Amino acid sequence: MKPVRTAVFPVGGLGSRFLPATKAMPKEMLPIVDKPLIQYAVEEARAAGIEEVIFVTGRGKTAIEDHFDYAAELEQTLAARAKQDQLAELRGIPGKPGAIAYTRQQEPLGLGHAVWCARQLVRNEPFAVLLADDLIQADTPCLKQMIEAYNEVGGNIVAVTEVPAEHTNRYGVIDPGATHGRLTEVRGLVEKPAPEKAPSRLAVIGRYILQPVVMDVLGSQQAGAGGEIQLTDALARVIGVHPFHGYHFEGKRFDCGDKAGHVMANIAFALERPDIGPAVRTFLHDLSATA
């Protein structure tokens, strides 16, 4: 079984649910406390052993490239002011030289299309896909959990979580087979089914480990729900080619592409921080007492 060494980060979407904040700023650069969403996702991938990072960018996304580059003037100023901790933190962001590649999705035609745009960089290897707006707070990073499961069963693995019945029309939903521990066999996949048509309440969220055959299938994938080329539809076509599982991850997931989810993530991550957690906790306590 080939190891998973490469991760694709599709960041070419419009982020229209987060306007006006995303008018001139990529959604993936929205901060949770003091770190952009995309940095959390890249750190998660690196903690899972990912060596090569591929960003699929689009118009107006250059702030992401700048974030993962050295900032010479800023670093000189921090060095002159003996701000060693901040300097070390900034220096770690880009990672090894040459380990980040960028390709461009010229039009936001959908998540499936964005992933397909990375095909030449992925080559003929299994790869991970991480959607930065799905932020997961976990003791063991979600992708690391999934790679450990992949090393046992191989094939394709998608992260799944149970959602309320009235929310199935926001997600790809699996038709589940047998469950063993945290893994459930995937027998079918439907994008954004109405509650009465959903095969389960197990929704796919933004972490995937995929075999290269998915790229071939995406090459001929037609537009689906919402007129977009959907990754879920292509995945449905590779069921049976390799083992295919949904992985019930340990951790709490926040949909940070949604305004309420973003606020909740900020609160949850702030409460975990030793520097600001106590002040935020006191504020929330006082707020609930006056509500």
Nearest distance, CB of residue 244 and ligand UTP, angstroms: 21
Cβ neighbours for 106, distance < 8 A, ≥ 6 positions apart:
58
One of 27, 46, 192, 262 touching ligand UTP (CB under 6 A)? 27
Nearest distance, CB of residue 207 and ligand UTP, angstroms: 12
Residue 16 sits in the site that holds ligand UTP (CB under 6 A) = yes
Nearest distance, CB of residue 56 and ligand UTP, angstroms: 5
Per-residue burial over 80-101, b if 16 or more Cβ lie within 10 Å, else e, is eeeeeeebeebeebbbeeeebb
Helix (H) or strand (E) holding 72: helix 72-80
What is the rounded CA–CA span in Å between residue 217 and residue 234? 6
One of 42, 114, 122, 265 touching ligand UTP (CB under 6 A)? 114
What is the rounded CA–CA span in Å between residue 114 and residue 121? 13
Nearest distance, CB of residue 286 and ligand UTP, angstroms: 33
| Cβ(207)–Cβ(180) below 8 Å | no
Binding map of ligand UTP across residues 118-157, x = CB under 6 A, - = no contact? -------------xxx------------------------
Q: Residue 32: how many CB atoms within 10 A of its CB? A: 20
Amino acid identity, residue 153?
V
Q: Which of 68, 199, 201 is nearest to 132 (CA)?
A: 68
Residue among 22 and 184 whose Cβ is closer to ligand UTP = 22
Residue among 111 and 149 whose Cβ is closer to ligand UTP = 111
One of 8, 12, 45, 215 touching ligand UTP (CB under 6 A)? 12
Residue with structure tokens 């990072």? 53
Nearest distance, CB of residue 230 and ligand UTP, angstroms: 10
- C-beta nearest to ligand UTP: residue: 13
* Token pair belonging to 260: 């309420």
With CB under 6 A, what is the number of residues at the site for ligand UTP? Answer: 23
Query: How far from 205 is each of 42, 68, 209, 238, 259, CA to CA, in Å?
Result: 17, 25, 12, 18, 17
Binding map of ligand UTP across residues 94-113, x = CB under 6 A, - = no contact? -----------x--xxxx-x
One of 4, 7, 10, 202 touching ligand UTP (CB under 6 A)? 10
Residue 17 sits in the site that holds ligand UTP (CB under 6 A) = yes
What is the rounded CA–CA span in Å between residue 192 and residue 167? 9
Residue 67 sits in the site that holds ligand UTP (CB under 6 A) = no
Residue 234 sits in the site that holds ligand UTP (CB under 6 A) = no
The interface with ligand UTP within residues 169-228 (CB under 6 A) comprises none
- DSSP class of residue 258 equals S
Residue among 111 and 183 whose Cβ is closer to ligand UTP = 111
Cis peptide before 20 (omega within 30 of 0): yes
Interface residues with ligand UTP (CB under 6 A)?
Answer: 10-18, 27-28, 56, 105, 108-111, 113-114, 131-133, 257
